[in-house]
Amino acid sequence: MDATQNEALTAWMDEHGYSSNTLAEAVNEAIERLSGRTGGLDGSSVRDWKAGRVRWPKSLTRAGLETVTGLPVTDLGFVPRGRTTPTPTPPQEDPDMKRRTLVGGVAATAAAAAAAPGIAAPRRIGMGDVQRLQSRFAEIIASDHRHGGQLGTEERATSLANEALTLQNAGSATQRVRSHLYASAAGFRSSAMWAAIDGRRYSEAITHMREAQTLAEMSGDQAIKFRIWSHAGTMYRHMGRPADALAANDVARGLHITRRDPLFASLGLARQGAILGVAQNRTGARLAFDQAQDAMDRATPDAHRPVWLVAFYDQAELDSLALSAYLSLGQHQTAEFHAHRCLSALRPHMRRSRAITTTRLAHAQLAQGDADTATATAISVPADAATQHARVTRMLQEFGAGLRATASNSSTVQIWTTHTREAWRTTA
C-alpha cells in the first residue's frame, strides 16, 4: 500500500462497517450538533482522507470525526501540519474541541474506567446489541397498534429504555454505537409517552416526554426528535391546549429531516391540521391538509425510514387526522368522507386506529341526524376496545350522551343502552 494512504482510518472504517458515504453523513450530523451548521462533507471527502490527499482536516471536521469514532484524530492516522508521521499528540487547546457532546464525554469516561488498574476490561458493546433492542422496539410498536393506551405497554417501553441506558455503562463502545443506544432509549421513552397519551394519563406522558427529549438530544437522531415533539403536539391537542400543541409541532416541523424527506413533512403538516381544527381555524386546517397530501404524494415509497413511521403513517392516517379536524370544526359531512376513506385503507394490524376511526364516524353520522346508522356504527366497535381503550371509551360515552339528547324517545336509544349494558359488561 502506498505510504501516503491512511491505513488507520481505513482499518477503523472496515471494522465498524462504514462506507465513505455513511462516514461523511455521520460526521456531518456530528458537526451540526457541535456548531449548529450542517457539515458539507461527502463520500469524496472521506476518500481524500483515506488516500492521504488530506492529512489534517479542518478543526470542526476533526471534532466531528472524534465525536463519531470516540478516538483522537491522530489515532485515526491524521497528521498535524508540520509533522511527517502520525504520532499521537497530547490534547490541544483547540476551542472547537471543547465543544464535545455529552455522548462523547460518556465514551471517554468508559474508556478511562476500562484502563484503570485492577479492573477487568469491560465487554465490547456493538451494533448487535443495538439491533436486539431495535427488534424489541418493533414489538412495542406492534403492541401499540393492536391495543393502544395500555399501561402494560407503557411499563414495558420504560423498562426497555432503562435497559438501553444500562448498556451504556456495561462496556466499551464506539461513538456510533453509543449514539444508537441513546436513540433507542429515546425511542422507547417516546413509546411510553404515546401509550400514556393514548390512555389519557397526561402527567405520566409529560414525564416520559421530558426524559425522551433529553435522550434524543444526546443521540442527535433527527427522526426520534421529530417523533417526540410531534407526540408532544398531539398530547397538548388532546389536552385542549392548541397554542402549546402548535408550538410543539412547530419544533418537529422545523427539524431538517422534514426538508430531506417529504413523508416527515407530510406527517407534521397533517398533525398541524388536526391542531388547527381544535383551534377552529378552518382555512388553516384545510391548507395544512392540502399541503400534507402534496408532500405525501412527493414522498419516495421505498426510502429507508424508521420502523415507527412506516408502521403507521400512510394515506389512512392522513385521513384519520383530517377526520379528527373536521369533526372539531363541525364539518360533519367532510368528516364522514375522510372516515370512510380511512377505514377502507387501514392495514389489518391497525386495530386501535380502526376502533378510533369507527367511533369518530359514529359521531359524524349522529351529528348529521342519522341516529340509526350512527348507532349501528358505534355498536360495531369491538367490545374490548370500547371498554379497555381510554380514548375510545370516552368517545363512546360522549356518543351515548349525544344520542340520548337527540333521540331520547326512540328505540335506537334502548338498543344502544342494551348493547352497552350486556356487551361491555362481559369484557370490562
8 Å CB contact between 315 and 267: no
pLDDT of residue 285: 97
pLDDT of residue 62: 85
Residue with cell 420502523: 307
Residue with cell 421505498: 302
Residue with cell 417516546: 190
pLDDT of residue 36: 64
Residues 6+ away with beta carbon under 8 Å from 75 = 8, 88
pLDDT of residue 349: 79
Residues 6+ away with beta carbon under 8 Å from 390 = 149, 198, 199, 200, 201
Residue 354 identity: R
Residue 245 identity: A
pLDDT of residue 113: 37
pLDDT of residue 391: 86
State the Cα–Cα distance between residues 148 and 43, nearest whole angstrom.
43
Residue 396 identity: L
Global pTM value: 0.70
pLDDT < 50 regions, the chain: 1-2, 85-121, 428
pLDDT of residue 65: 85
8 Å CB contact between 125 and 180: no
